[in-house]
Amino acid sequence: MSLYTDKVMDHFENPRNVGVIENADGIGEVGNPQCGDIMRMYLKIENDVLVDVKFKTFGCGSAIATSSMATELIKGKTIDEALELTNKAVVEALDGLPARKIHCSVLAEDAIKAAFVDYFTKTGREMPECLVGFEPHEDEH
């Protein structure tokens, strides 16, 4: 049996929302120093709604699958709803990931949070409490 669920394979082979948003309202880039994978998230926000989300991942298959699923889960949602997204929810939506690949989903959550930090900083809006002092995780492999 494959280590990876059908959903992981599907999002790896056909990732959704890959690309760059020109004039994005928020851009977040995070990397995992252990594996060297890098993820960049772009948010387009209108009236507090994420009208578009795109990502670029220079990383492993699980990083691609989790960023793809994460963008699907927050696209069309309000800022508040999107901020509630956890890597756990992304993993559940993919029907699971092998334990040693969980850190890849953390990269996806952190990239979204970093993009929101950029958005709130650029717009001068008050930073939501959950983002104050945000630092991307530095997970062990």
Q: Which helix (H) or strand (E) segment is 16 a member of?
A: none
Minimum CB distance to ligand FES, residue 32 (Å): 5
Regarding 105 and contact with ligand FES (CB under 6 A), the answer is no
- Candidate residues 35, 49, 93, 127; the one interacting with ligand FES per rule CB under 6 A: 35
Regarding 97 and contact with ligand FES (CB under 6 A), the answer is no
Regarding 63 and contact with ligand FES (CB under 6 A), the answer is yes
Q: By the 8 A CB rule, do 131 and 41 touch?
A: no
Q: By the 8 A CB rule, do 52 and 19 touch?
A: no
Regarding 87 and contact with ligand FES (CB under 6 A), the answer is no
Regarding 107 and contact with ligand FES (CB under 6 A), the answer is yes
- Candidate residues 37, 109, 110, 118; the one interacting with ligand FES per rule CB under 6 A: 37
Please spell the DSSP secondary structure of 89-114, one letter per residue. HHHHHTT---GGGHHHHHHHHHHHHH
Tokens 């890098």 correspond to what residue?
38
**Sheet strands (E) in the chain:** 26-31, 38-46, 49-58
Among residues 82, 91, 104, 115, the one annotated as catalytic is 104
Which residues are identified as catalytic? Answer: 35, 104
Residues found near ligand FES in the complex (CB under 6 A) = 32, 35, 37, 59-60, 62-63, 103-104, 107
